[in-house]
């Protein structure tokens, strides 16, 4: 039976032969959640590509030291480049959307402030830190070696300007057509998902003027955190690595 080796993200510089001291939440997790012992193996990755095999060489009160003994240039990234622009949702909903977008292989995530965003600007900083941790944990679990980029929060019109790609999609319950009507084969996509209260009429018009194609997900209204999961899955199936 294969032994499950824990896989953890670190922002340390990793290289074969180096010893790395892990502290804070990572050390706590290794000692008190995973209950790892001296000599046990770990896999570390730094989000820049590949992963490193390590052995625990010392365990202190607040620190765990590992020796890096191997590098695996594993690449589990989809060739499809997806930028997800997502309106800032309520706490749990946004965590779900960010976690599952990372699992589903998005390249970058841009939180967007829209007319119907109910979060104040001062709350963004703290929430961004949390979204980063959610992304790291989703990548630990899913085996991703590259971390999706998490951009700063942008205003709706900045998002419209930033959005690039072979295809720009706007998830809109009002759209007359679904994603199956797209016949091109994009290599890069920008996708916009609206907030719980929806995208305002004027925002939708500005997105259309900027070249976004509106797509519907059928006649049922999905929760704002469900819509990206549905669309990202379809995209990976049609143009990515599903």
63 with 23: CB under 8 angstroms? yes
**Which residue's CB comes closest to ligand SAM?**
194
As a whole number of angstroms, the distance between CA 43 and CA 4 comes to 10
Of residues 156-175, which lie at the interface with ligand SAM (CB under 6 A)?
A: 171-173
What are the structure tokens assigned to 235, written together?
């995209």
Q: How far is the CB of 28 from ligand SAM (least distance, A)?
A: 37
Q: Report the residue from 59, 146, 154, 222 that binds ligand SAM according to the rule CB under 6 A.
A: 222
Q: How far is the CB of 195 from ligand SAM (least distance, A)?
A: 6
- Residue 198 near ligand SAM by CB under 6 A: yes
As a whole number of angstroms, the distance between CA 204 and CA 179 comes to 17
- Residue 176 near ligand SAM by CB under 6 A: no
As a whole number of angstroms, the distance between CA 46 and CA 217 comes to 36
Q: Report the residue from 41, 188, 196, 242 that binds ligand SAM according to the rule CB under 6 A.
A: 196
145 with 50: CB under 8 angstroms? yes
Q: Report the residue from 194, 207, 212, 229 that binds ligand SAM according to the rule CB under 6 A.
A: 194
The number of CA neighbours under 13 Å toward the Cβ of 99 is 15
Q: How far is the CB of 10 from ligand SAM (least distance, A)?
A: 35
- Residue 42 near ligand SAM by CB under 6 A: no
- Residue 90 near ligand SAM by CB under 6 A: no
Q: How far is the CB of 227 from ligand SAM (least distance, A)?
A: 4
Residues constituting the chain: 242
Select from 77-85, 129-137, 140-148, 219-227 the region that touches ligand SAM (CB under 6 A). 219-227
Please report where in the chains the tokens 């999706």 appear, as a residue: 148
Nearer to ligand SAM, 65 or 113 (CB): 113
Q: Report the residue from 18, 67, 216, 233 that binds ligand SAM according to the rule CB under 6 A.
A: 216
Q: Return all residues near 105 (Cβ < 8 A) that are at least 6 apart.
A: 77, 78, 80, 82, 144, 232, 236, 240, 241
C-alpha R_g of the chain: 20
The number of CA neighbours under 13 Å toward the Cβ of 53 is 11
As a whole number of angstroms, the distance between CA 144 and CA 137 comes to 10
- Residue 217 near ligand SAM by CB under 6 A: yes
List contacts with ligand SAM (CB under 6 A). 171-173, 193-194, 196, 198-199, 216-218, 220-224, 227
């Amino acid at each position: 039976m294969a032994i499950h080796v824990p896989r953890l993200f670190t922002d340390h510089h990793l290289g074969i032969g180096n010893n790395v001291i892990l502290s804070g939440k990572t050390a706590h997790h290794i000692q008190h959640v995973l209950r790892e012992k001296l000599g046990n193996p770990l896999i570390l990755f730094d989000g820049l590509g590949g992963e490193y095999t390590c052995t625990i060489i010392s365990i202190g009160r607040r620190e765990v030291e590992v020796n890096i003994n191997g590098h695996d240039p594993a690449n589990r990234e989809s060739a499809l480049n997806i930028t997800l622009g997502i309106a800032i949702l309520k706490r749990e909903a946004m965590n779900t959307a960010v976690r599952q977008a990372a699992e589903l292989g998005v390249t970058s995530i841009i939180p967007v402030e829209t007319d119907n965003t109910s979060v104040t600007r001062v709350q963004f900083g703290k929430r961004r830190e949390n979204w980063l941790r959610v992304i790291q944990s989703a990548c630990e679990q899913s085996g991703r070696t590259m971390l999706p980029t998490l951009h700063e929060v942008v205003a709706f019109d900045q998002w419209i300007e930033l959005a690039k790609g072979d295809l720009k999609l706007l998830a809109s319950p009002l759209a007359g057509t679904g994603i199956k009507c797209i016949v091109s084969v994009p290599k890069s996509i920008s996708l916009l998902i609206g907030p719980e209260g929806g995208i305002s009429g004027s925002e939708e018009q500005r997105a259309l003027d900027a070249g976004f194609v509106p797509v519907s997900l059928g006649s049922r209204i999905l929760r704002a955190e469900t819509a990206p999961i549905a669309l990202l899955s379809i995209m990976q199936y049609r143009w990515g690595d599903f």
